[in-house]
Amino acid sequence: MHPALNIMIKAARRASQIINRAAQDVEHLRITPKKYNNDFVTEVDKAAEAAIIEILRQAYPDYGILAEESGLSGASEGGKDYQWIIDPLDGTTNFIHGFPQYAVSIALTYKGVPNQAVVYDVVRNELFTASKGGGAFLNERRIRVTKCDRMEQALLGTGFPFRNFEHVKPYLGMFKDFAERTAGIRRAGSAALDLAYVACGRFDGFWEIGVLPWDIAAGALLVTEAGGLISDLSGGDDYLKTGNLVAGTPKIFSQMLQVADSHRTPTLQA
């Protein structure tokens, strides 16, 4: 196991302790709306993020950080090619409502490409990990995407475009086409876990519009290391920048991409 991955797992487990303790008394948490009315932050998000950053900085003080709550902090010269991308609690709205679908997500990128990944489901105690070139694992067991190659047999995951409602119309066009052609669609509220589910075979594919880098950086590496494919809506590799992505088994991915690309509009980037 890569040394950085060990540190990431330690940080994710520390954050999960904070989250699990708080889950027992959610009614007394301070909950604050963010930029969007349906996007929230709690003191738990901030405490978990601080714990993660403390552990990562102790081990790798030179690396840069992009974290959901505290933002961007630069790297020193020795670590300028490396960046941690952190979502301390992906699925905050689920957490607030006691809906048991949320996770800690930590990625390490090298020159902008995910290199190490941890997604930790704190409710189910499921630890998803991946190293570039080293495969993807669930609780130390190797995982692979499914062999599904027919859309009518595929179960897809998705997320709603709640941050930019200009994207609702093209999204609904995609949703309609996928709903008509697949075995089903699920929206559970944590993109990190959705991508982990593609990696381990619970979903055959996933798409979303308008996600942020910390939502998907770790999950993207899980998918590719499990034998899947991921791209932006035009088939390129700018999904971390655009926030628009399609992921799935190789055969399902190509079919999904055709549908997604057909609904792109001038206001919807790749």
Sequence ranges of the domains in the chain: 3-142, 151-262
Start-end of H helices in 117-190: 168-181
**pLDDT value at 42 more than 80:** no
Q: What is the pLDDT of residue 72?
A: 85
pLDDT tens for residues 75-108?
666 677 999 999 999 999 999 999 999 999 999 9
- Assess whether the region 3-142 and the region 151-262 belong to the same CATH fold: no
* Bigger pLDDT: 45 vs 250: 250
Q: What is the pLDDT of residue 163?
A: 72
- Among candidates 32, 227, 254, which has minimal Cα distance to 142? 227
Quote the tokens at residue 178: 């996928």
Q: With contact defined as beta carbons under 8 Å apart, do 52 and 104 qualify? A: yes
pLDDT tens for residues 23-34?
887 776 676 666
Helix axes 3-23, 43-59, angle to 10 degrees: 160
Q: With contact defined as beta carbons under 8 Å apart, do 256 and 149 qualify? A: no
* Bigger pLDDT: 227 vs 36: 227
Q: What is the CATH number of domain 151-262?
A: 3.40.190.80
Q: With contact defined as beta carbons under 8 Å apart, do 242 and 269 qualify? A: yes
**What is the assigned CATH class of domain 3-142?**
alpha beta
CA distances from 68 to 154, 182, 210 (A): 32, 33, 15
Q: What is the pLDDT of residue 11?
A: 98
| pTM assigned to the model | 0.93
